[in-house]
């Protein structure tokens, strides 16, 4: 589980859904949750939250510009790769702290990932949980 | 209604600990006391039942003062209407089931309560048996019936089910809930089993180092509501299968086994028996109609 500290920037509400923008070490994250400021007190600008997402939901992109729909992006340097038969664990050092990604070992080979390489971690908006 | 406020300095192997507990329990509640061993749970029961004396405090049950150290009031155990069931049955081995129950009758108390309990707890067929010929579950049913003979107002259950297998446990839970409702008891249960607590208790007190650190409805206490994931399950780790850096964790949630993949955390590894919260976003699961 990846847990990064952040601060709520703004919240847009529609029905029982809220889209929150969170400042995570200078990167703007977005999270969609089935909560509103009325049901969860931490959903208001300025509140400190933790941004939580699973390692297996972290996509790795090489280079800097990615024309994909993913909103949440963190640049970092690979500091550790542990490859198993099928899956590989990649540890990134980012401005927000360490981020762990689990992708297939095949993808690691295909992308030529190795320690020291600068990459971007991408996480879907609906994969982000928030906790006060 | 139980109004309790007690303090007692306890000597534990690890040093001294001050048991300091305040509780306010509405009549008819089913309360669970949860916490590590040595937290003071059993001592609390002993103080409530009068077999142990606190340094100071007050216990008022349904407007009757059982204990008030300031005014030197201390009702003896036999005057407090408390039924007690322990983990180790504590039945008289030389007596039959029927005799064990009869023995609990107070002087002059009509014996019809024994027949009523024998029937309610389905002990009729075991009346002439000695405890040694009974299974663990049967012994605990007898112990539970015996605790109710004197028609207590409060039932204290000190881990009565922890020595039983899963199936027997579920059955005994049903019996406990049955008598709890039938006799309008206020029941306090010490338990470590999260699914048991979620199934049975209205209120949970989490005791640590002699203090109540959390209290509330069990589901709210266990599933810290602050996390935004809407699929939240609590359960107990049954097995952890490690493969490279991945762990396949099998968790018992109610009666269902659930598997979750985690990345191994060297600092905080999971072990069988750990209580866990499984959380996922409402966006992830798929729903399929099965009936």
CATH classification of the domain holding A77: 2.40.50.100
Question: Which pLDDT belongs to residue A63?
Answer: 75
Q: Which residues of chain B have pLDDT under 70?
A: 223-226
- Give the residue on A whose Cα is nearest the Cα of B224: A131
Segments making up each domain of chain B, as ranges: 2-221, 224-280
Q: Are A8 and A49 in contact (CB under 8 A)?
A: yes
**Cα separation of B65 and B61, whole Å?**
6
Taking the CA of residue B263 and the nearest CA in chain A, the distance in Å comes to: 7
Task: Tell me the CA distances in angstroms from A89 to A3, A75, A106, one per residue in order.
Answer: 16, 17, 12
Taking the CA of residue A48 and the nearest CA in chain B, the distance in Å comes to: 13
For the question of whether the overall pTM of this predicted structure is more than 0.80, the answer is no
Question: Which pLDDT belongs to residue B225?
Answer: 57
Residues 6 or more apart from B101 whose CB is under 8 A from it? B114, B117, B118, B142, B145, B146, B149
Instruction: Please check whether residue B231 touches A, CB under 8 A.
Output: no
pLDDT tens per residue, range B14-71: 788 999 999 999 999 999 999 888 889 999 999 999 999 999 999 999 999 999 999 9
Write the residue in B228, B279, B284 that is nearest to A35 by C-beta: B228
- Give the residue on A whose Cα is nearest the Cα of B261: A56
What strands lie across the sheet with B15-25, from one edge to the other? B15-25, B2-12, B56-61, B64-68, B73-74
Q: Are A81 and A92 in contact (CB under 8 A)?
A: no
B101's enclosing H/E stretch is: helix B97-103
Write the residue in A85, A102, A130 that is nearest to B228 by C-beta: A130
**Cα separation of B61 and B153, whole Å?**
9
CB contact under 8 A, A84 and B279: no
Q: Per residue of chain A (132 residues), what is the pLDDT tens digit?
A: 899 999 999 999 998 899 999 999 999 999 999 888 887 888 999 999 999 999 999 999 997 777 888 889 999 999 999 999 999 999 999 999 999 999 999 999 999 999 999 999 999 998 999 988
CATH number of B2-221, picked from 3.90.1150.10, 3.40.50.1400, 3.40.50.300, 3.40.1160.10: 3.40.50.300
- Give the residue on B whose Cα is nearest the Cα of A33: B228
Give the residue numbers spanning the domain of A64. Answer: 2-131
- Contacts across the A-B interface (CB distance below 8 Å): 51
Comparing C-alpha atoms, which of A44, A57, A49, A45 is closest to residue A99? A57
**Cα separation of B117 and B144, whole Å?**
9
Chain A hits for B283, Cβ within 8 Å: 32, 126-127
CATH number of B224-280, picked from 3.40.50.300, 2.40.50.100, 2.30.29.30, 2.40.10.10: 2.40.50.100
B235's enclosing H/E stretch is: strand B231-243
Write the residue in A34, A100, A132 that is nearest to B226 by C-beta: A132
Comparing C-alpha atoms, which of A49, A1, A15, A13 is closest to residue A29? A49
Interface test with A, best of B249, B263, B264, B276 (most A CBs within 10 A): B263
Q: What's the number of domains chain A is made of?
A: 1
CB contact under 8 A, A131 and B246: no
């Amino acid at each position: 589980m990846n847990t990064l500290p952040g601060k709520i920037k703004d919240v847009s509400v529609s029905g029982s859904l809220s889209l929150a923008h969170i400042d995570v070490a200078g990167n703007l994250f977005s999270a969609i949750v089935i909560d509103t400021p009325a049901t969860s007190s931490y959903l208001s600008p300025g509140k400190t939250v933790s941004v939580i997402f699973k390692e297996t939901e972290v996509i790795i992109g090489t280079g800097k510009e990615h024309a994909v729909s993913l909103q949440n992006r963190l640049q970092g340097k690979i500091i550790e790769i542990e490859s198993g038969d099928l899956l590989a664990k990649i540890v990134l050092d980012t401005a927000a702290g360490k981020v762990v990604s689990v992708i297939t070992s095949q993808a690691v080979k295909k992308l030529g990932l190795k320690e020291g390489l600068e990459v971007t971690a991408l996480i879907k908006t609906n994969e982000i949980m928030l906790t006060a | 209604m139980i109004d309790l406020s007690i303090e007692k300095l306890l000597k534990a192997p690890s040093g001294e600990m001050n048991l300091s507990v305040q509780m306010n329990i509405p009549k008819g509640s089913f309360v669970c006391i949860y916490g590590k061993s040595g937290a003071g749970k059993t001592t609390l029961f002993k103080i409530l039942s009068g077999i142990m004396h606190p340094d100071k405090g007050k216990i008022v049950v349904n407007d009757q003062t059982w204990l008030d150290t300031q005014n030197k009031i201390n009702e003896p155990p036999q005057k407090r209407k408390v039924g007690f069931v322990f983990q180790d049955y504590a039945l008289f081995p030389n007596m039959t089931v029927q005799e064990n129950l009869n023995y609990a009758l107070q002087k002059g108390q009509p014996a019809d309560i024994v027949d009523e309990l024998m029937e309610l707890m389905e002990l009729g067929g075991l009346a002439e048996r000695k405890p040694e010929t009974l299974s663990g579950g049967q012994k605990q049913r007898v112990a539970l019936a015996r605790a109710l003979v004197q028609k207590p107002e409060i039932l204290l259950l000190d881990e009565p089910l922890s020595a039983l297998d899963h199936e027997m446990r579920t059955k005994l839970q049903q019996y406990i809930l049955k008598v709890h409702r039938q006799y309008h008891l206020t029941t306090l249960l010490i338990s470590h089993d999260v699914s048991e607590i979620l199934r049975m208790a209205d209120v949970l007190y989490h005791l640590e180092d002699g203090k109540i650190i959390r209290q509330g409805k069990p589901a709210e206490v266990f599933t810290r509501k602050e996390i935004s994931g809407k699929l939240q399950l609590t359960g107990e780790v049954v097995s952890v299968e490690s493969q490279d850096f991945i762990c396949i964790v099998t968790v018992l949630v109610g009666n269902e086994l659930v598997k979750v993949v985690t990345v191994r955390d060297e600092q905080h590894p999971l072990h069988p028996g750990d209580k866990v919260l499984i959380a996922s976003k409402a966006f992830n699961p798929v729903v399929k109609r099965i009936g």
